């Protein structure tokens, strides 16, 4: 994204990074658990992999936190129930959203009626840096279809409402507060 088109064109091949699938994450987790000498069963591995946002560094970070939890609260073995309890304690939900992700979504939904809301306003209302929101949190929320960037700002999509157990304004038909379309630029 930060390279100019002429510079990018000089490379022989251009690749796009994709999120890792569950099978690849489980393989990474199994290897990392072996290196860390942490006993883990397939249920524990699956639980961690499912909450890792498709990213190896996140899966390894979560493994270390679950290991710590298992050593203190359980018998040191990572099984599904132990992994679930550890990740719930860390406030990482079933699809990998953490408390900051949920705070961003709830700010858009509850403070700004589902949006649109500008990035600076969103950052100020959540005490997050604009670059952190753009670089760390938005990509995954966009990938999940939980938010959209429109000419007027960020909006929460129906999938975000459903995930949070909330009812979208206008029944999720693309209208915001007052029935105004979220997709027009007027």
Q: Is residue 73 part of a domain?
A: yes
Q: What is the pLDDT of residue 171?
A: 59
Q: Is residue 15 part of a domain?
A: no
**Residue environment code for 14-27, b if the CB has 16+ CB neighbours within 10 A, otherwise e:** eeeeeebeeeebbe
One-character DSSP codes across 145-177: TSEEEETTEEEE-HHHHHHHT-PPGGGGSSB-G
Q: Consecutive 10-residue runs of the chain (186 residues): their mean pLDDT?
A: 78 79 94 93 94 93 95 91 95 93 94 91 93 91 93 93 87 53 49
Q: Is residue 14 part of a domain?
A: no
Q: What is the pLDDT of residue 179?
A: 52
Domain span including residue 61: 22-89
Identify whether residues 85 and 34 lie together within a single domain: yes
Identify whether residues 138 and 161 lie together within a single domain: yes
- Indicate the number of domains in the chain: 2
Identify whether residues 144 and 114 lie together within a single domain: yes
Q: What is the pLDDT of residue 37?
A: 93
Identify whether residues 83 and 155 lie together within a single domain: no
Task: Say what the pTM is.
Answer: 0.78
**83, 89, 92, 98 alpha-carbon torsion, rounded to 10°:** -160
Identify whether residues 160 and 139 lie together within a single domain: yes
């Amino acid at each position: 994204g930060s390279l100019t088109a002429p510079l990018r064109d000089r490379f022989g091949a251009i690749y796009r990074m994709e999120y890792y699938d569950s099978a690849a994450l489980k393989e990474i987790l199994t290897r990392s658990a072996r290196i860390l000498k942490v006993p883990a069963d397939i249920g524990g591995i699956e639980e961690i992999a499912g909450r890792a946002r498709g990213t190896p560094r996140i899966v390894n970070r979560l493994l270390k936190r679950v290991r710590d939890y298992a050593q203190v609260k359980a018998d040191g073995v990572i099984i599904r129930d132990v992994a679930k309890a550890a990740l719930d304690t860390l406030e990482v939900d079933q699809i990998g959203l953490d408390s900051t992700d949920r705070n961003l979504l709830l700010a858009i939904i509850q403070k700004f009626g589902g949006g649109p809301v500008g990035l600076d306003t969103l950052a100020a209302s959540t005490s997050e840096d604009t670059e952190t929101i753009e670089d760390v949190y938005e990509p995954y929320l966009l990938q999940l279809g939980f938010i959209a960037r429109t000419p007027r700002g960020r909006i929460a999509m129906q999938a975000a409402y459903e995930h949070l157990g909330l009812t979208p304004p206008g029944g999720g038909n693309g209208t915001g507060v007052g029935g105004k379309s979220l997709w027009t630029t007027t």
